Amino acid sequence: MTRTIVWFRRDLRIADHAPLYRAALRGSVIPVFIFDRALLHHPETAPARVAFMLNCLAGLDQDLRDRGGRLILRYGDPSEVLPHLIRETQADGIYAHIDYERIYGRVRDAKLNQVLAAENLRIRWFEPAASTPDLLRYPDYRNFWFAEMLADRIPAPSRVDVPAEIVSEPLPAVADLVLIANQVPIPDGSAVAARQLLDQFLDDKIDRYYWQLSYPGAEATTGLSPYLKFGVISPRECVQTVQQWQGLSHKAERSRQQLIARLRWGSGFAQRFRYLPQLELRSLYSVFDEDGWEFDEDLYQAWQDGQTGFPIVDAAARCLQATGGWQQLNFRIRALYSSFLSNLLGMDWRYGALHFMRHLLDGDCPIDHYQWAMQAGVTHCVDKTWTRIYNPEQVAVDRCDPDGRFIKRWVPEVAHLPPEQLGLPPKLKDYPSPILNYRAARQRRIKQLDRQRQAFLHQENLIPYLAQLPTCLIPFGSDRFASDVAWAMASQPNLFPSPLDLDALDLKQAQALRTWFVAHVNIKPRTVTPRKRRRSKRQPTSDFVQLSLLEL
Ligand SMILES: Cc1cc2nc3c(=O)[nH]c(=O)nc-3n(C[C@H](O)[C@H](O)[C@H](O)COP(=O)(O)OP(=O)(O)OC[C@H]3O[C@@H](n4cnc5c(N)ncnc54)[C@H](O)[C@@H]3O)c2cc1C
């Protein structure tokens, strides 16, 4: 009987999973997950996220058992473990989704391809939904995304037959992986739990999501991000579930569209990284990295510890470390917190992205790094609209936490103050004074960004100004945290899938690439909008409320 290894990575589910479905159609399946030292000891690894991943693996194992199978766990370098597993099990070959979340994975997979080819062993790579090797214009990618999301879902196999003699290591605890577990509460990682979050969203949040997604105290968002990060549920299942909901009010309809748009943003960031893996390590334009970041260890520490003297910033800092951020640290609070470091303290966004990744339960390299770079103003190239310097004073409290619930929960030193004093509290014994002057810091950053942007803003061909993939691929932060980066020392490693070769792009391709990095790119109307939107005169849109945080 044919045997196929299915290699799970960040697609820890049985539904809407083409490699598993196809393998089960062929015969026996060997579903394997490999604990890889290089990822477990990457400088951006968060023990809390690993703990959540272990819960996801337990959920995947249970789903496979419900179909007669089980998950096989192994340890080591996949380019050694997998060829060995093929020989041990007499498998035909390996099925796996392509993965381009980070550079390490692409180096690993290129090496695996080489090792397998040298031994005449086979692997079949499957494209994840909404992923393409082709260089599309962004509006075309958007249409492609909708088409992929509306395509038929791949069913879960009804049976998964795993050969009885194949042994698995037991599911470890975080400490067994030589990581220091912390006190962050870790949610259930099963697909059932992810689907329940969608149900709860429909029952309890959809009427308010669009209007409250910037209020951390409201917890109005889905909470799906850790599940999407590890692929416990596919974006296609989320979109199709959401699309099926009938009889929604006008308000709920607006929320539905907003949620679908956000799911698309997530896929779009991943696609940008597929084209340009250098975005993991560098700003989009090289001038931003070459000219003028500042660094001060004490200020960096104060920002991490929640000791800046700006209560909303400090609440974000403490919430991130205590909870892994997935429920309360919504987009706007993350943006405000990140802007404080890179724009107001003038520190390299990579220090912030590193800290986020070391704590976020949903830490996802393309979303995290790209969002950090975006909030720092070093991605989009058109004009000042992408200078996102958030006011962390009373404006932020009024717009994001008007009753002070979030701030008071995380910064008890200011819990006795009325909301109107939470922006800039009076001098307190046990709470620091502000570590910077907002207006002065803002002016300094605006001037710096204006100057840096002049280097490329009016050039017709932007390609020469884009950062290239560096020859040294050592991850940022490996000098601060003990990590295993031997893989990055190999001379000229290959990447799979291949990135765009910037030097080989013609002008038309260069223009297509540019559409991914300009705001307000002309986008055709979508096909899935079921109703025409009416804009209420009285109620400001959430975008309006959020962007008004950029005020002085
Ligand atoms: C500096 C910064 C760093 C971030 N780092 C991450 C990260 O590491 N991982 C992560 O999943 N999100 C990240 N985000 C985006 C956003 O804050 C989270 O996706 C969201 O808070 C997750 O909560 P949710 O699933 O309840 O969101 P919902 O609003 O319910 O959204 C559903 C899903 O849509 C996607 N999504 C939502 N907002 C965004 C967005 N702004 N950009 C891209 N995708 C989005 C996510 O997959 C999310 O799970 C970051 C944002 C900023 C400003």
Domains of the chain: residue spans and CATH? 1-126+483-499 (3.40.50.620), 191-275+522-550 (1.25.40.80), 283-466 (1.10.579.10)
CB-based pocket (< 6 A), ligand 1:
213, 221-225, 228-229, 259, 262-263, 265-266, 269, 330-331, 334-335, 338, 356, 360, 362-364, 367-368, 371-372, 375
Residue 61 counted as an annotated binding residue: no
Write down the H helix ranges in 245-296: 250-275, 286-290
Q: How far are the Cα atoms of 2, 6, 30, 126, 487 from residue 119, in angstroms, in the given order?
A: 19, 19, 20, 21, 21
* Beta strand ranges found along 129-264 (DSSP E): none
DSSP assignment letter at 275: H
Q: Which atom of ligand 1 is nearest to the CA of 268?
A: 43
From 53, 265, 362, 390, give the residue whose CB has the most ligand 1 atoms within 8 Å, as the site to mutate: 362
Residue 56's closest CA among 198, 233, 285, 197?
233
Which of 209, 225, 259, 355 is the pocket-test mutation for ligand 1 (most atoms within 8 Å of CB)? 225
Give the number of other Cβ atoms within 10 Å of residue 65's Cβ: 13
Taking alpha carbons only, the member of 497, 473, 496, 487 closest to residue 280 is 473
How far, in Å, CA of 246 to CA of 268, rounded? 27
Condensed to tens digits (0 to 9), the pLDDT of residues 308-348 reads 999 999 999 999 999 999 999 999 999 999 999 999 999 99
The Cα-based distances of 76 to 116, 145, 230 in angstroms read 16, 35, 20
Ranges of the chain whose pLDDT falls below 50:
521-552
Bridge partners of 6, per DSSP, are 31, 95
Longest dimension (CA), the chain: 75
Interstrand relation of 93-97 and 3-8 (parallel, antiparallel or unpaired): parallel
- State the pairing for strand pair 28-35/123-126: unpaired
Question: What distances in angstroms separate CA 390 from CA 54, 420, 448, 484, one per listed residue?
Answer: 36, 18, 16, 36
pTM, rounded to two decimals: 0.95
pLDDT at 455: 85
pLDDT for position 519: 67
- Positive or negative, the CA dihedral 450, 456, 462, 465 is negative
Q: Tell me the pLDDT tens digit for each residue of 506-537.
A: 989 998 998 998 865 444 434 444 334 344 34
What is the ipTM score, two decimals? 0.99
What pLDDT, on the 0 to 100 scale, is given for residue 527?
A: 40
The four Cα atoms 447, 449, 454, 456 give a dihedral, to 10 degrees, of 180
The confidence score (pLDDT) of residue 529 equals: 42
Estimate the crossing angle of helix 331-339 against helix 349-357, to 10 degrees: 140
Q: Is 241 annotated as a binding residue?
A: no
Rounded-to-integer distance, Cα 538 and Cα 541, Å:
9
